[in-house]
Amino acid sequence: MVNIGLAISPPRQLASRRLADAVRLCVVEARPCVLLVFLLRFLVGSALSGMGAARGDLVRVAETAVVWELAVFAVYLFNGVTDVHEDRINGSQRPIARGALSTAVARWVAAVAAMASIGGAAALGSHLLWAVLALLGLGFCYSSPPIHLKRHAVTSTATGILLGLLTYYAGPSAYTGHGWSHASAALCVFVVGATTWMGLVGGLTKDLSDVAGDVAAGRRTVPGVCGEARARRAVSFAALGLAVGFCAAGAWTSPLLIWPGVAMLGGAIAMAVVCLRRSAHRTRSGSRRPYRVFMTTQYLVNLSVVAPLIGQCLSG
């Protein structure tokens, strides 16, 4: 019996290792930086909803966060499956593009994650279920033929904004159980500013380094249609104008929004410097810098809301 067990054990261990490696590669393909920023958006929604509502259920918040992240993971993993052609043209080093992860395995993992998120949302209530279904539906329509929302700048930007709005909705829904019914002025101003930054600034910067692949795939992005130089000028002006407006609205609404406004303004200035430098687009690394500034700014804007509120909870 011992010999049989020893003979069977190595294949089982090998299978477990392969499964663990596949899951790890799927997480890398779904972009951990994106998964983290969605989690931050969710936490901001939960934290700011506590300003206008009674004390929420923190266990429910944690459970909802897991369900929401599973849905986001499924959406971005499926996007990696459908982007493989243009990713290879653009020289992407993500697992599917470099051949380390098969599209069949990625599709299977994405489907399992999507079903798990739907099941978890159904158990947590209708307020979350419709939001998860909307997130998954938008993600599918963004990446999959024949709809391909990603092919046009307007629909791609609108999808990004809607995904952000749904995430900022899921946070309060988890905390209060009633969506935005107790939304504070601070939450409303922050959500408008943060999602507009996602849509306008993020929508432009994410395409700057992928012009060749996007053109080959038939996408009509702003850099592909108008040229990279014009797109860089547009994103600089959009970032600066939005940041100034967000600073003013935040300072007028709540002291809690002053630091997020400062973070966005700093990010907008950095964006203008990076985008308007003449040598910025000569290498792929240089073309990726505006997107990195956009993502870093997102982190700082969201963290500058979550960190003080967590500090207040711990001190209280």
User: How many angstroms separate the CA atoms of 134 and 145, rounded?
Assistant: 18
Q: What is the pLDDT of residues 139-188, one digit of tens each?
A: 999 988 888 887 787 888 889 899 999 999 998 888 776 655 566 788 88
**Residue 96 falls inside a structural domain:** yes
In a shared domain, residues 78 and 208 = no
Our CA dihedral for 232, 214, 159, 198, rounded to 10 degrees, sits at -30
Measured CA to CA, the distance from residue 314 to residue 316 in angstroms comes to 5
145 and 64 in a common domain:
yes
Last residue of a domain, one of 139, 159, 182: 182
Q: Is the peptide bond before 223 cis (omega within 30 degrees of 0)?
A: no
- Which range of residues forms the domain containing residue 279? 184-316
Query: Does 172 share its domain with 36?
Result: yes
Which residues are CB-contacts of 141 (< 8 A; sequence separation ≥ 6)? 147, 149, 159
Query: Which value, in Å, is the radius of gyration of the alpha carbons in the chain?
Result: 21
- Banded pLDDT at 4 (limits 50, 70, 90): very low
The CATH number for 79's domain is: 1.10.357.140
Residue 128 domain-assigned (yes or no): yes
Distance separating alpha carbons of residues 187 and 49, to the nearest angstrom: 7
Co-location of 151 and 188 in the same domain: no
Could you tell me the pLDDT band of residue 2, with boundaries at 50, 70 and 90? very low
Q: Are 30 and 170 in the same domain?
A: yes
Between CA 165 and CA 256 the distance in angstroms is 20
User: Taken in order 198, 162, 83, 153, is the CA torsion positive or negative?
Assistant: negative
Boundary of a domain, candidates 161, 182, 203? 182
At 7, the pLDDT band (50, 70, 90 cuts) reads very low
For tokens 């850099």, name the residue.
223
Percent of the chain with pLDDT over 70: 80
More confident residue, 83 or 213: 83
| pLDDT at residue 166, rounded to an integer | 94
The reply to whether 297 falls in a domain is yes
Q: Are residues 149 and 275 in the same domain?
A: no
pLDDT at 1 over 50: no
The answer to the question of residue 8 being in a domain is no
Altogether, the residues listed in the chain come to a count of: 316
Residue 11 belongs to some domain of the structure:
no
**Residue 105 covered by a domain:** yes
Identify the domain boundary among 163, 182, 201.
Answer: 182
Nearest CA to 228 out of 217, 243, 212, 240 is that of 212
- The total of structural domains in the chain comes to 2
In a domain, 15, yes or no: no
- Asked if residue 304 and residue 220 are part of one domain, the reply reads yes
Assess whether 191 and 171 both reside in one domain.
no
Share of the chain above pLDDT 90, in %: 43
Number of neighbouring beta carbons within 10 Å of residue 35: 14
pTM, rounded to two decimals: 0.83
> Cα–Cα distance between 101 and 115 in angstroms, integer?
21
Domain identity same for 207 and 130: no
Shared domain check, 309 and 188: yes
Give the mean pLDDT of the chain. 83
Average pLDDT over residues 129-141: 95
Digit-coded pLDDT (tens) for 175-233: 776 655 566 788 889 999 999 998 888 878 876 766 665 666 566 666 666 677 788 88
